[in-house]
Structure 1
Amino acid sequence: MDRLTLLKTFVVVANEGSFTKAAVRLDTSNQLVSKYVAQLEKHLDTRLFNRTTRKIHLTEAGRQCLQHANHILESINDMESQLGLFNTQAKGTLHVSAPVSFSTLHLAGAIGAFQHAHPHVSINLQLNDRKIDVIDEGFDVAIRAGHLASSSLVAKKITTINLALCVSPAYLKKYGRPLHPSDLKPEHYLEYSYVNYDNNQSELIAALKANAQKSPPKLTANNGEVLTNVAKQGEGYVLQPTFIVGEALKKGELVSILDEYIPQSIALYAVYPHRKLISNKLRVFIDFLCNYFEDTPFWDR
């Protein structure tokens, strides 16, 4: 029998002054109450009660034990109450990993709005584009884009991410508009180094892979904003999500090409370790992001 149950039984007996009354209070048998008290006395190697035919009295050791037991049980109740708040209120610190460009361009605004709505939640945000281990690196949630590999983690879709192959008007004026992926010049490709198209069978991706074998890309970088800015200068073509290139497309700084060959949309996910034990602070954070960005995000409207 666990010691917590023994302590609870002992405290009730001490407060009631009777094994029989304690049994009624605990809705159990008199014999079981006596057994638990005897087990506690054996564990502590001391007598807790002096027993007479009519009444029981705490020994000196019993009085000391009662003080400690009350303190222990009160501390446990306080802990349970405090931890219970974490499941009913959005409160505490969230450790979040997220992509660099998406965070600087769009997530910052969402976090500001979230914290205005949930002022008792603090966020520790770490930005990186590499694949991180959510559990080993101590994150509550990772925001990630793309086709996710199967794992023990839970992934909830936040929004849809569309891709666009872009060049500047100056590039088109100088080299002409490609009409087919095979028309792309491999030496002009501005490549995002973290991208993984292994599971994508589109004709455009096949062409990019084939071109990479013919000639190294003009530029490889681990930041989509840098690649987009280079593309604006007419130095090559870039395949990027519209949350990065959308504004440049609207302003005419970039032009989308080969639209009919663009790979299918991907998704932005919230990836976290547990489904059943998800804290309320994480639940409201993910729900907030889903409502904030919606399935068709504002940069594509």
Structure 2
Amino acid sequence: MDRIALLKTFVAAANEGSFTKAAEKLDTSNQLVSKYVAQLEKHLDARLFNRTTRRIHLTEAGRQCLQHANHILESINDMEGQLGLFNAQAKGVLHVSAPVSFSTLHLAGALGAFQNAHPHVSINLQLNDRKVDVVDEGFDVAIRAGHLASSTLVAKKITTVKLALCASPAYLEKYGMPSHPAELKPDHYLEYTYVNYDNDQSELIRALKANAQKYTPRLTANNGEVLLNVAKQGEGYVLQPTFIAGGALKRGELVSVLEAFVPEPVSLYAVYPHRKLVSNKLRVFIDFLSEYFEDIPYWDR
């Protein structure tokens, strides 16, 4: 006896309220629907329907059975779909939102390698440093750094992001090397517009927040590379991720200061809507990025 076939027939009959309509939906005979329902009732030793000449009505046992049957059939569909993804070729258009500087400096190389590995996946990349609404704006996935608020979105870690407080050698020669956040000159801060350290209680962040309430930063911008370039000219200090500042630090154009006070590293995530099944194109994309960047990314090695 195929119990799955019995459950499918029972669910169709329950949803249609008629053996005849269930038979039409399943493209089978009225007699076979009646037979399968009777077999299920016999197997469960419970009456599932009260029958009249025109309609059928679920009994209390039938209502409970319908809940379990829907859950079982849904789980089977999910299993079949998920396992089928491993044999299916990744293809289609993937709509991606990502931060501007990370994309121009690092994601571009990863995308080229990804499309060499998966030539049937097309990428529609939209760059924006603001926090996009993944669902309402129609993205399959968004790349985000930092502490994520709880939501209905799923977040998969791609890599680790370190932060650095930087200033140029010329700036430090003129104003001195600070040994504590209290020694920072508040009006020399080069502030990134979209930064959000609400959950960070480090001494450096507390000092920056306190200064921001009293002083206007020398420069506020919504692009980290611009702020970094201004800092290289000796115009102030900037707090930036090392995927932006790493090159300048290695070349000696900037110097890392107050390292003991810099916030702990955060994570870079791939964030996508919570669904029962993740499309194959999205699954291979996230897996590829995780392998490409690794937990300690190349710019920090």
TM-score by length of 1: 0.75
Q: Please say if 1:128 is aligned against 2:141.
A: no
Secondary structure at the aligned position of 2:27 is classed as: helix
Query: Is the 8 Å Cα contact of residues 157 and 268 (structure 1) preserved in structure 2?
Result: yes
Distance across 2 between alignment mates of 1:111 and 1:86: 21
Question: 1:237 deviation in Å?
Answer: 0.1
Cα shift readout 1:138-174 (whole Å, capped 9, x = no counterpart): 0000000010000011001100000000000110111
Query: Is the 8 Å Cα contact of residues 85 and 279 (structure 2) preserved in structure 1?
Result: no
Corresponding position of 2:150 = 150
Q: Which sections of structure 1, spanning at least 5 residues, go unmatched?
A: 14-18, 32-80
Corresponding position of 1:242 = 242
Distance across 2 between alignment mates of 1:85 and 1:209: 47
Question: 1:297 deviation in Å?
Answer: 0.2
The amino acid that maps onto 1:254 is L
Distance across 1 between alignment mates of 2:174 and 2:23: 82
Q: Please say if 1:217 is aligned against 2:231.
A: no
Secondary structure at the aligned position of 1:264 is classed as: coil
Sequence identity, in percent? 75
Corresponding position of 1:6 = 24
Question: 1:211 deviation in Å?
Answer: 1.3
Q: Kindly tell me: are residues 121 and 5 of structure 1, through their superposed partners in 2, closer, same or farther at Cα, counting changes over 3 Å?
A: farther
Corresponding position of 1:50 = none
The amino acid that maps onto 1:230 is V
Q: Please say if 1:109 is aligned against 2:109.
A: yes
Q: How does 1:126-275 map to 2 (within 5 A)?
A: 126-275=126-275
Distance across 1 between alignment mates of 2:108 and 2:129: 16
Query: Is the 8 Å Cα contact of residues 86 and 279 (structure 1) preserved in structure 2?
Result: no
Choose 1 or 2 for highest CA Rg. 1
Moved over 3 A (4+): 1-5, 26-29, 84-87
Query: Is the 8 Å Cα contact of residues 158 and 293 (structure 2) preserved in structure 1?
Result: yes
The amino acid that maps onto 1:288 is F
Question: 1:88 deviation in Å?
Answer: 2.2
Corresponding position of 2:99 = 99
Secondary structure at the aligned position of 1:207 is classed as: helix
Q: How does 1:29-68 map to 2 (within 5 A)?
A: none
Cα shift readout 1:63-93 (whole Å, capped 9, x = no counterpart): xxxxxxxxxxxxxxxxxx9xx7798221111
The amino acid that maps onto 1:213 is Q
Q: Kindly tell me: are residues 215 and 9 of structure 1, through their superposed partners in 2, closer, same or farther at Cα, counting changes over 3 Å?
A: closer
Distance across 2 between alignment mates of 1:297 and 1:254: 20
Secondary structure at the aligned position of 1:88 is classed as: coil
Q: Which sections of structure 2, spanning at least 5 residues, go unmatched?
A: 1-12, 39-80
Q: Kindly tell me: are residues 256 and 5 of structure 1, through their superposed partners in 2, closer, same or farther at Cα, counting changes over 3 Å?
A: farther
Question: 1:5 deviation in Å?
Answer: 5.0
Q: Kindly tell me: are residues 8 and 215 of structure 1, through their superposed partners in 2, closer, same or farther at Cα, counting changes over 3 Å?
A: closer
Query: Is the 8 Å Cα contact of residues 86 and 92 (structure 1) preserved in structure 2?
Result: no
Distance across 1 between alignment mates of 2:251 and 2:231: 14
Q: Kindly tell me: are residues 119 and 6 of structure 1, through their superposed partners in 2, closer, same or farther at Cα, counting changes over 3 Å?
A: same
Distance across 2 between alignment mates of 1:4 and 1:165: 68
CA RMSD in angstroms, aligned pairs only = 2.6
Cα shift readout 1:8-58 (whole Å, capped 9, x = no counterpart): 536xx7xxxxx99xx5xx9957x9xxxxxxxxxxxxxxxxxxxxxxxxxxx
Query: Is the 8 Å Cα contact of residues 87 and 280 (structure 1) preserved in structure 2?
Result: no
Cα shift readout 1:205-257 (whole Å, capped 9, x = no counterpart): 01111111221100000000000000000000000000000000000000000
Query: Is the 8 Å Cα contact of residues 189 and 236 (structure 2) preserved in structure 1?
Result: yes
TM-score by length of 2: 0.75
The amino acid that maps onto 1:227 is L
Distance across 2 between alignment mates of 1:224 and 1:167: 14
Corresponding position of 1:34 = none
Q: Kindly tell me: are residues 202 and 152 of structure 1, through their superposed partners in 2, closer, same or farther at Cα, counting changes over 3 Å?
A: same
